[in-house]
Amino acid sequence: MIRKFISQVFGHKLPGRGGEPTVIPHARHGIRREALSNGSRRVIETLQDNGYQAFVVGGAVRDLLVGIEPKDFDVATDATPEQARQCFRRARIIGRRFQIVHVMMGQETVEVTTFRGHHGQQDTPRAQTDAQGRVLRDNVFGSQKEDAARRDFTVNALYYDPVAETVIDYHQGLADLERKTLRMIGHPATRCREDPVRMLRAVRLAAKLDFSIDADTLRTLGELAGLIENVPPSRLFDEMLKLLTSGHSVKCLQRLRAEGLHHGLLPLLDVILEQSLGKRFVTLALENTDRRVRDGRPISPGFLFATLLWNEVLNQWEALKTGGERPIPALYLAMDNVLDAQAEKLAITRRVAGDIKDIWALQPRFELRSGKRSHGLLEQPRFKAGLDFLLLRAESGEVDAALGQWWLNFLNADGETRAAMLLAQGPGAEKKRRRRKRKSGAAAGVAADTTTAECP
Ligand code: ATP
Ligand code: MG
């Protein structure tokens, strides 16, 4: 009787512990099918017309339920990749380890994934794990129930069927969503051992959704933070980039810190968060990035990592110069040292590393304001990024604010004004400025040193 009443109010079936799912009707979940992208809706309809199950799954359902516009709409189905591909005119199978299907619908590409099964089941090939329990291979198809169980958080394991307008919930994700709680599915320690990146995901998603992390999950993060060291550097880079470009990077880092997670979690964060000198610069940079993300403006990973590592470059640059190295070779050496040290843990891609170096290498060149050099600098492909970087340094108080303003004015000025600006700087002015700095003993400052440097 009670079961019947509850099921009528809350859904078709009672939530079982890993058993039958709750089927939540539209009146309860409130998602409108029009909220889906056209492509994902058509893909689901086509798969269902062909006799397969198909749902929107994961982050998109979660975001729709909390009223955030989803980034993308992933589709999960019981069709194998080959069966799914055959349902569409423009579709291709990608990936080797675990195949997924990309279906092209007009401009949109919809990612279709076959339900994944449990690793380590008796009737399927066992997942390979490393000594710490991290899953190395995970490529077994399964049922929807198994697919739900291997997702990370209960709120990420909801399936929306736009045809029936129902949400399928195996792990009481809707209840957690309403409690604004991020809860790991299954045993948190096992799940974090299987894939330590889930710990970073917990922090990122909690910050994004403004959820709390449930007590068991949180305790596990504290205990197992060190396992992050075990994650391949390239994957760590991807996840770290997601965290930093989530639009909530400041909140994410604060949470990592609050939980004491940043130590074991990432060498980069140790460097950033432990230095009060660079903290203002980094905070400004992250706030700036969060604003850009929220305004829908593009983010350059190179710029972002250049800001995060700048303080370390400054320290090393200074040390090398003190050790007798000339300023510009010292800067290049410091840049390489910092990037090499970071690469051991966090594989910054070669392209991004190139961008970072370009931005750093431009910095001393802003100190030199003379006719040919200044015009030449404007022509540099990374000039705009370099200038934004300089403006941040000025805002944080590391360099004279007037320098950043001068370059901003120079960039926006017409030819005549530029000529006048350079004249005002003139060789005489430049010499005087250097003399003043030498007299005031400013040679200890980084910026002062570079004014006399021969730039590459
Ligand atoms: P967002 O896209 O907002 O960053 P998301 O949850 O959609 O968040 P994705 O990386 O797009 O994140 O993953 C899609 C879904 O795949 C998740 O919602 C979750 O169900 C599942 N998933 C992703 N990464 C993992 C993981 N490391 N372990 C288990 N499940 C995962
Ligand atoms: Mg997503």
CA of 59 to the centre of ligand 1 (A): 6
Residue 169 CB–ligand 1 contact under 6 Å: no
Query: The domain that contains 390 carries what CATH number?
Result: 1.10.3090.10
Closest Cα to atom 9, ligand 1: which residue?
A: 59
Q: Ligand 1 pocket, 71 CB below 6 A?
A: yes
Distance between CA atoms of 221 and 422, rounded to whole angstroms? 56
Mutation test of ligand 1: which of 201, 217, 231, 240 has the most ligand atoms closer than 8 Å to its C-beta? Answer: 201
Task: List strand residue ranges (DSSP E) for 152-265, in order.
Answer: 158-161, 166-169, 181-182, 212-213
Q: What is the predicted pLDDT for the residue at 78?
A: 96
Does residue 212 lie within any of the structural domains? no
**Domain edge (last residue) among 132, 159, 179:** 179
pLDDT of amino acid 135: 60
CB of residue 58 inside a 6 A radius of ligand 1: yes
- 289 occurs within a structural domain: yes
Determine which residue's CA is closest to atom 15 belonging to ligand 1.
58
Angstrom distance (rounded) from CA 288 to CA 250: 10
Residue 152: which CATH number?
A: 3.30.460.10
Among residues 161, 179, 197, the one where a domain terminates is 179
Q: State in Å: Cα 155 to ligand 2 middle.
A: 12
Q: What is residue 257's predicted lDDT score, i.e. its pLDDT?
A: 77
How many whole angstroms separate alpha carbon 140 and alpha carbon 126? 9
Residues near 114 by beta carbon (within 8 Å), at least 6 away in sequence: 76, 77, 78, 79, 80, 81, 84, 99, 100, 141
Bridge partner list, 161: 166
Q: In angstroms, rounded to a whole number, what is the distance separating the alpha carbons of residues 212 and 215?
A: 9
Instruction: Answer with the one of 144, 179, 214 that is the final residue of a domain.
Output: 179
Q: What's the rounded Cα separation, in Å, for the pair 166 and 169? A: 10
Q: Is 161 a catalytic residue?
A: no
201 Cα–ligand 1 center, Å? 8
Residue from 63, 78, 138, 152 carrying the catalytic annotation = 152
Q: Is residue 137 part of a domain?
A: yes
C-beta 152 within 6 A of ligand 1:
yes
pLDDT attached to residue 69: 92
Domain that holds residue 130: 1-179
Query: What is the number of the ligand closest to the CA of 205?
Result: 1
152 is a catalytic site residue: yes
The stretches in the chain having pLDDT less than 50 are 1-17, 121-126, 441-456
Same domain, 27 and 175: yes
Strands 212-213 and 181-182, how do they pair?
Answer: parallel
Residue 106 lies in a domain: yes
Say how many Å lie between the CA of residue 68 and the centre of ligand 1: 15
Q: What is the pLDDT of residue 379?
A: 86
Distance 408 CA to ligand 2 centre (A): 38
pLDDT of residue 452: 28
Single pTM value for the model: 0.80
Shared domain check, 131 and 14: yes
Residue of minimum CA distance from atom 27 in ligand 1: 198
CA-proximal residue: ligand 1, atom 17 (nearest) = 58
Count of structural domains, the chain = 2
214 in any annotated domain = no
Tell me the per-residue pLDDT of 207-233, one tens digit each, with 9 for 90 and over: 999 999 999 999 998 888 888 888 888
> How far apart are the C-alpha atoms of 349 and 184, rounded to whole Å?
31
What is the residue whose two structure tokens read 């697919």? 147
Is 360 part of a structural domain of the chain?
yes
249 CB near ligand 1 (under 6 Å): no
If you measure from the C-alpha of residue 435 to the centroid of ligand 2, how many angstroms do you get, rounded to a whole number? 57
Based on the domain organization, do 172 and 302 belong to the same domain? no
Alpha-carbon span 398 to 389, nearest angstrom: 11
| Half-sphere exposure for 243 (CA within 13 Å, toward CB) | 27
Q: Are residues 170 and 288 in the same domain?
A: no
Q: Which pLDDT does position 193 carry in this prediction?
A: 94
Nearest CA to ligand 1 atom 6: 59
Helix (H, G, I), strand (E, B) or coil at 5: helix
In this structure, the answer to whether residues 291 and 418 fall within a common structural domain is: yes
Q: In this structure, is residue 123 part of a structural domain? A: yes
147 is annotated as an active-site residue: no
Same domain, 160 and 294: no
154 lines ligand 1 (CB under 6 A): no
Pocket test for ligand 1, best of 151, 183, 194 (most atoms within 8 A of CB): 151
Q: Do 55 and 174 fall within a single domain?
A: yes
Closest ligand 1 atom to residue 71 Cα is 2
245 within some domain: no
Measured from the alpha carbon of residue 59, the closest ligand is: 1
Is the beta carbon of 147 within 6 A of some atom in ligand 1? Answer: no
Shortest-distance Cα residue to atom 28 of ligand 1: 152
Ligand 1 pocket, mutate which of 155, 156, 197 (most atoms under 8 A from CB): 156
Q: Does ligand 1 lie within 6 Å of residue 248's CB atom?
A: no
Most informative mutation of 113, 144, 152, 195 for ligand 1 (most atoms within 8 A of CB): 152
Nearest one of 33, 96, 36, 94 to 60, comparing CA atoms? 36
